[in-house]
C-alpha cells in the first residue's frame, strides 16, 4: 500500500477554494493572455468580465444554481467562457464530445438533464438529428465558428453573441467547494457512458497538482493537445495554467503536420502528448528542426498506451523530458505523477499526499509488493475526486465499494510506493485517445434484426493503444455484410466507436457459470484474418 499521508496536503491556507473565486482572483493579471485558441486571445481580465456577462445573461434566461448547461462545441475562447460563466452562477457545465451522433447524443443530453444547449454551427447537423427527442422547453443557442457561413438562417436558436450583453457584475450566488461544477462523460465498461459529476474543489485540487508537477515559470505557455470535453483538455489547457497565472493554448483539432509549427508560434514551453499522439508525432521522418523549440517539459500518459521504446524515442528525438501521470476523470486528473526531480523508469510516480493507493486481487484483498492487481485509490483531500455518476447510484456505490475507488485498471507498486500501470480490466477499449465502451457498440449492432449476439473487443493497433474488432453472430439464413455493419454504426455512434475489424462467429466462447462471453479469449485472437475497413472503401 502507498500511504498518501506520508506527505499530507495542507488546504487550510488555500487562496481559493472554488473555481469562481479563482477566476475573480486571477483577473489581477489584467492583459496577460490566459487562453490562446484559433487566432483569438482571452486575457485574464476579459475572462473575468465576459464570464460575468454570460452568467448574468444565463440568469436572465432562468438558469439558476444547479441547472445544467450542455455544450456541443469545438475548442474556442467562447467555449471556455461558458464554463467560467457556469462557475460564476453555480450552474453545471456539461461539455459533450463533438463526435457524438444521433443515438449517443440523445443519450448524453437526456442523461445530463440539460436545460440549455449551446451548439457549434459546424455541429448543427448532428444536433438536428437528436433535437426532436429532447424535452420541450430546452433553451437552444447557436455559436457560429469563425469558419461558418454567417448568412445561414437558423430557425429556433438564439445567437450566442446575445449572451455577451449581460451585466458585467459578479452574480450574487453563494458557491462552496463541494458544489457541483461540471459533468464530464467518460467511457463505460459494462454500461453506457457515465456522466461524472465533479465539484469546484475537483478543479482546484487538480490545478494544485498541475502546479507541483510542472513547476511553472512566469513566461510558461502550455500547448494542450486535448479538448474541453475531456478532463485533460480542461486541466492542461485552462484550469492548471489559470491557477499558476500562466498561458494555455489550444487548437480545434490535434494535427501532426502542424504540431511543431504551432508549438513555435505559441512559444510553448509545456506540452502533454497523450498516448497515440506521442507515436503519431514520431511518424514523420526525423528532421533538423525536431529540437527547434522551447519545450522544457512534457506531461502525459504513455504507460499501457504506447510501447516503452516509443516513449524513450520521443524523449531522445525531441529532447523533451516526459513526466508520466496516472489519471482518470473520476479522480481529478494527475492524482499520481512523476516529478521533474523524482522520476523512476516505467512508473507513473506517486500520489504525493493526495491519495492512498492499494493493489488488490479479485476479492479486494491486498496483494504483495510487486504483484499485479487492480488499482484502488481513495482521496486524502475532501471533494477533490468525483461526487457521483449522475443517475447511476448503483454504479457509484459499486465503484466505491469497501470505501476505495475501483479504477478497473491493473498495476503494481514497488517497495517505495511507485505505481506501475499495466493495462485495463473489463471491457474498455482505448482507441485514439478515447475510452470506448464495448457495451455501447454492442447495443447498437445488436439492434439490427439480423443479429443474434455480438462482442466488441480491443486488438493491438499499429500506432499503439487499440483498434476495435467486433465479433458478430447472425441468425440462421441471414446475411449482413461487414460494409453495411460499419455504415450502420457510422449513422448511430461517434466515428471513434465504429469498428475497424469484423469477424463472424457461429457461436461465442462462454463461461460455464454465467454463460458470459469469454472476452479475453476473443481479444487474444487479435485482428487475425478479419475483414478490415481500412482495406476497403466504405460508403459514408
| pLDDT at residue number 154 | 78
Residue 222 belongs to a domain: no
* Arithmetic mean of pLDDT over the chain: 91
Residue 423 in this model has a pLDDT that exceeds 80: no
Residue 283, all three cell numbers: 511518424
Q: Residue 468 sits in which domain range?
A: 430-535
We report the CATH number of the domain holding residue 144 as 3.40.50.980
Residue 103 belongs to a domain: yes
Residue 471 in this model has a pLDDT that exceeds 70: yes
Residue 378 belongs to a domain: no
Please, which pLDDT band fits residue 151 given cuts at 50, 70 and 90? Answer: low
C-alpha distance from residue 236 to each of 17, 204, 239, 269, 462 (Å)? 19, 13, 7, 13, 27
Helix axis angle for 102-112 and 124-131, nearest 10°, is: 70
Last residue of a domain, one of 175, 193, 226: 175
We report the CATH number of the domain holding residue 519 as 3.30.300.30
Residue 514 in this model has a pLDDT that exceeds 50: no
For cell 476579459, what's the residue?
A: 46
Please, which pLDDT band fits residue 181 given cuts at 50, 70 and 90? Answer: very high
Last residue of a domain, one of 115, 142, 175: 175
**Which among 189, 231, 141 has a CA at the least distance from the CA of 439?**
189
Last residue of a domain, one of 134, 150, 175: 175
Residue 336 belongs to a domain: no
Residue 73 belongs to a domain: yes
Query: Which pLDDT tens digit goes with each residue over 318-336?
Result: 999 999 999 899 998 899 9
Residue 353 belongs to a domain: no
Residue 130 belongs to a domain: yes
Residue 5 belongs to a domain: no
Task: Name, in order, each residue with C-beta under 8 angstroms of 313's C-beta and a sequence gap of 6 or more.
Answer: 282
419 vs 301: CA distance, rounded Å = 13
Cα angle at 227 between 246 and 535, to 5 degrees? 140
Phi, psi of 355 (to 5 degrees): -160, 165
Taking residues 276-284, report their average pLDDT. 87
419 vs 236: CA distance, rounded Å = 22
Tally of domains within the chain: 2
Task: Name, in order, each residue with C-beta under 8 angstroms of 102's C-beta and a sequence gap of 6 or more.
Answer: 126, 129, 130, 491, 492
Amino acid at each position: 500500500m502507498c500511504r498518501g499521508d506520508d506527505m499530507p496536503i495542507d488546504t487550510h491556507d488555500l487562496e481559493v477554494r472554488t473555481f469562481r473565486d479563482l477566476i475573480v482572483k486571477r483577473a489581477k493579471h489584467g492583459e496577460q493572455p490566459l487562453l490562446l485558441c484559433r487566432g483569438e486571445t482571452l486575457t485574464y481580465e476579459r475572462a473575468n468580465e465576459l464570464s460575468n456577462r454570460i452568467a448574468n445573461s444565463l440568469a436572465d434566461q432562468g438558469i439558476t444554481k444547479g441547472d445544467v448547461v450542455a455544450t456541443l462545441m469545438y475548442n474556442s475562447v467562447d467555449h471556455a467562457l461558458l464554463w467560467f460563466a457556469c462557475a460564476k452562477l453555480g450552474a453545471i457545465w456539461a461539455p459533450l464530445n463533438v463526435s457524438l451522433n444521433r443515438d449517443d447524443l440523445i443519450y448524453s443530453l437526456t442523461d445530463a438533464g440539460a436545460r440549455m444547449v449551446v451548439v457549434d454551427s459546424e455541429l448543427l447537423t448532428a444536433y438536428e438529428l437528436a433535437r426532436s427527442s429532447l424535452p420541450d422547453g430546452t433553451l437552444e443557442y447557436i455559436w457560429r465558428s469563425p469558419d461558418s457561413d454567417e448568412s445561414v438562417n437558423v430557425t429556433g436558436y438564439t445567437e450566442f453573441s446575445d449572451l455577451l450583453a449581460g451585466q458585467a457584475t459578479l452574480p450574487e450566488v453563494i458557491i462552496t467547494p463541494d458544489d457541483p461544477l461540471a459533468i464530464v462523460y467518460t467511457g463505460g465498461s459494462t454500461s453506457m457512458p457515465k456522466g461524472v459529476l465533479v465539484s469546484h474543489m475537483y478543479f482546484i485540487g487538480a490545478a494544485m497538482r498541475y502546479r507541483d508537477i510542472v513547476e511553472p515559470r512566469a513566461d510558461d505557455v502550455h500547448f494542450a493537445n486535448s479538448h474541453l470535453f475531456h478532463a485533460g483538455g480542461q486541466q492542461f489547457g485552462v484550469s492548471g495554467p489559470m491557477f499558476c497565472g500562466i498561458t494555455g493554448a489550444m487548437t480545434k483539432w490535434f494535427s501532426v503536420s502542424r504540431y511543431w509549427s504551432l508549438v513555435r508560434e505559441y512559444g510553448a514551453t509545456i506540452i502533454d502528448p497523450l498516448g497515440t499522439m506521442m507515436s503519431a508525432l514520431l511518424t514523420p521522418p526525423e528532421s533538423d528542426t525536431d529540437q527547434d523549440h522551447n519545450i522544457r517539459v512534457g506531461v502525459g500518459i504513455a504507460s499501457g498506451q504506447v510501447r516503452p521504446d516509443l516513449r524513450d524515442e520521443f524523449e531522445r528525438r525531441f529532447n523533451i523530458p516526459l513526466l508520466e501521470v496516472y489519471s482518470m476523470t473520476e479522480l481529478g486528473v494527475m492524482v499520481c505523477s512523476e516529478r521533474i526531480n523524482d522520476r523512476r523508469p516505467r512508473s507513473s510516480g506517486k500520489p504525493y499526499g493526495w491519495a492512498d493507493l492499494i493493489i488488490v486481487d479479485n476479492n479486494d484483498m491486498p496483494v504483495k509488493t510487486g504483484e499485479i492487481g487492480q488499482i484502488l485509490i481513495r482521496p486524502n483531500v475532501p471533494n477533490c475526486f468525483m461526487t457521483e455518476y449522475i443517475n447511476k447510484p448503483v454504479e457509484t456505490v459499486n465503484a466505491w465499494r469497501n470505501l476505495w475507488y475501483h479504477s478497473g485498471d491493473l498495476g503494481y507498486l514497488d517497495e517505495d510506493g511507485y505505481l506501475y500501470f499495466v493495462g485495463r480490466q473489463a471491457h474498455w477499449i482505448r482507441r485514439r485517445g478515447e475510452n470506448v465502451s464495448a457495451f455501447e457498440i454492442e447495443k447498437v449492432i445488436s439492434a439490427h434484426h439480423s443479429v443474434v449476439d455480438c462482442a466488441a473487443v480491443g486488438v493491438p493497433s499499429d500506432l499503439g493503444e487499440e483498434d476495435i474488432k467486433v465479433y458478430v453472430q447472425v441468425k440462421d439464413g441471414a446475411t449482413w455484410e461487414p460494409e453495411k455493419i460499419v455504415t450502420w454504426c457510422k449513422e448511430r455512434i461517434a466515428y471513434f466507436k465504429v469498428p475497424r475489424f469484423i469477424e463472424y462467429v457461429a457461436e461465442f466462447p462462454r463461461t460455464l457459470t454465467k454463460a458470459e462471453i469469454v472476452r479475453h479469449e476473443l481479444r487474444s485472437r487479435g485482428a487475425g484474418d478479419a475483414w478490415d475497413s481500412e482495406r476497403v472503401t466504405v460508403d459514408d
